[in-house]
A and B are shown apart, each in its own frame.
Chain A
Amino acid sequence: ETGVTQTPRHLVMGMTNKKSLKCEQHLGHNAMYWYKQSAKKPLELMFVYNFKEQTENNSVPSRFSPECPNSSHLFLHLHTLQPEDSALYLCASSQGDRENNEQFFGPGTRLTVL
């Protein structure tokens, strides 16, 4: 399963650190997404990019900063996170102009904030 890849797969960081999550899709899709998956709120949509333009920001705190330099790459920059930000961060992509909009997920980054 190499359609959507994410690095790193696991990340442990302190609250004062700055780190970035990377997502890459090899499916020729034009829409990419960041989701947060935790025990309390499964599959919580964070950001949506269509054709490299951010179209959705679901009230995500500013300590999360997305970047989409092109339709194949998506980053999530992290700084001054809180322990409650510990979760699985999933990237997904889809062909945004198709009605069925099947989303293909990456394997996720398991983030632990100490």
Chain B
Amino acid sequence: GENVEQHPSTLSVQEGDSAVIKCTYSDSASNYFPWYKQELGKRPQLIIDIRSNVGEKKDQRIAVTLNKTAKHFSLHITETQPEDSAVYFCAALLSGSARQLTFGSGTQLTVLP
């Protein structure tokens, strides 16, 4: 099965700075990597995802990079704002599996004003 590790578990940045969260996965057959954001008391919601045939994807202030050789992918948030404070989860989908995602353990991001 797949195993996803996520670091760091907590991250504090000053407003306007960048934040980077990293994940590694174990199974090279994984081909889809989403990132979810969960604000306090709310449900997780997809914010960006990347397929294995792409190395980088960007959506305004957030971007995700994927290194298939090293089996790691990262979330980059630039010009952070207080509303970016949340728990972020990475996940990996194993190709051919019963469509189940394996989630990382989460990163609590705090953006300090």
Contact = CB atoms under 8 A, between A and B. Distances in A.
Interface of A: 1, 31, 33, 41-43, 45, 48, 50, 55-56, 90, 94, 96-97, 99-103, 105-108
B100 A48 contact: yes
B88 to A, nearest CB: 11
Nearest to B105: A42
Interface stretch (B15-23, B39-47, B58-66): B39-47
B6 to A, nearest CB: 9
Nearest to A103: B101
Contact of B44 (A48, A94, A105): A105
In terms of DSSP, what is the predominant structure of the interface of chain B? strand
B106 A43 contact: yes
Interface size class of B (residues with CB under 8 A): 20 to 34
B107 to A, nearest CB: 10
B43 A42 contact: no
Contacts of B100: 33, 45, 48, 55-56
Given A42-B105, A43-B106, A56-B100, 4 more contacts: A42-B103, A43-B89, A48-B99, A108-B43
